[in-house]
Amino acid sequence: MIQRIQTVYLALLVISLGLAFIFPFSTFPFNGDVLVLDAFGMSQKVPSVSVWFPYYVVLALSMGIGIITISQFKNRKKQLNLGKANYLIILITLIFIFIDSDKIADGIGTMETNITYGVGMFSPVAALVFQFLANRGIKADEKLIKSMDRLR
C-alpha cells in the first residue's frame, strides 16, 4: 500500500537527492575566486584538477530507483533488493564526492580547513539515512505478513 511509512521515507530520499542538484557539494577559495563542485562538475576549468565521476547521472539513477521502489509496494522482496542496491549506489557516490573534494583541494593547493561543504554534500547523507529507514520499514512489513500467515 502506498500509505506506508517507508513510502514517506522513499519520497524524502528522492527530495533530498533532488537537493543535491540544486546546492553545491563544496566550495574552494582559489586565487581570490571561489571554485564550486556540484553535481555537474567544477564551476571553472582548472588545469591541475579534473572531476571525472558523473554525479548527475548517479544521482538521477538513485532518484529513479527510489521512485521505482515506491511503485513496487506489492512486491516487498523486490522493493528490499532495490533498496539495498540504492543504498550501495548512494554510499559509493558519497565516497567519490569526498575523494574528489580532497583531490581538488590538493590540486589547487588549498588547505583542507578552507573547504566549505554545502547542502549538496549532506543531502546524499540524508538520503542514505532515509534509505536505511525505508529498508527497515519494508523488513518490518515482511515480518508482519509472515506472522499473519503463521496464524492462519
Q: What is the pTM of this model?
A: 0.85
Largest CA distance in the chain: 72
In the chain, domain spans: 5-151
Q: Which residues contact 100 (CB under 8 A, 6 or more apart)?
A: 37, 51, 53
5-151: which CATH architecture?
Answer: Up-down Bundle (1.20)
**Over the stretch 17-69, which tens digit does the pLDDT of each residue have?**
999 999 998 888 877 778 888 888 777 776 667 777 788 999 999 999 999 99
How far is it, in rounded angstroms, from Cα 41 to Cα 44?
9
- If one counts every other C-beta atom within 10 angstroms of the C-beta of residue 23, the result is 15
DSSP character string of 92-139: HHHHHHHHHHHHHHHHHT--GGG-EE-HHHHHHHHHHHHHHHHHHHHH
**Over the stretch 94-128, which tens digit does the pLDDT of each residue have?**
998 888 888 888 877 766 667 788 888 899 999 99
